[in-house]
Amino acid sequence: MQDKHHGTTQPSYRSGRRHVLSPRDERTLVRKVQINPRTTAKDLVKMLEETGTKVSISTVKRVRYRHNLKGRSARKKPLLQNRHKKDRLWYATAHGDKDRTFWRNVLWSDESKI
């Protein structure tokens, strides 16, 4: 059967290189990143290898960038909720009149006791 545009049975050539990942693999990868934004490219490569697709880390990074999932990570420190604010205010008002020796013995969250 001849091609109606070129009049030949030869396969037509396409410009550019074929994609390593199929559209289905790309959707799976994007879905994994949207569910857990902290997923590293290395973990995604391992996940794709389990399905039988061998890709490099840079390929995964390019796919993430193409879908606007750049190298951002989720917020590690959770925001204060109203309950936390109330508890902090209660603690400050309850212990506001204590002297310096009391406050020296308080373990602050940004220090550690060794």
For the chain, give the secondary structure using H, E and C: CCCCCCCCCCCCCCCCCCCCCCHHHHHHHHHHHHHCCCCCHHHHHHHHHHCCCCCCHHHHHHHHHHCCCCCCCCCCCCCCCHHHHHHHHHHHHHCCCCCHHHHHCCCCCCCCCC
Tell me the pLDDT band of 113, cut-offs 50, 70 and 90.
low
Task: Note whether residue 78 is domain-resident.
Answer: no
66: left (phi over 0), alpha (psi -120 to 50) or beta: alpha
Does residue 2 or residue 94 have the better pLDDT? 94
pLDDT tens-digit map of 58-110: 999 999 999 998 876 656 777 788 998 899 899 889 988 888 888 888 877 76
Compute the average pLDDT of residues 14-26. Answer: 87
- Torsion angles phi and psi, residue 111, rounded to 5: -125, 165
Confidence check: pLDDT of 24 > 60 = yes
Total structural domains in the chain? 1
Tell me the pLDDT band of 3, cut-offs 50, 70 and 90.
low
Task: Note whether residue 1 is domain-resident.
Answer: no
Confidence check: pLDDT of 114 > 60 = no
The pLDDT mean for the chain works out to: 83
Q: For residue 59, give both structure tokens.
A: 């390929």
Tell me the pLDDT band of 54, cut-offs 50, 70 and 90.
very high
Task: Note whether residue 47 is domain-resident.
Answer: yes
Please give the model's pTM, rounded to 2 decimal places: 0.53
Q: Which domain holds residue 50?
A: 23-66
Task: Note whether residue 79 is domain-resident.
Answer: no
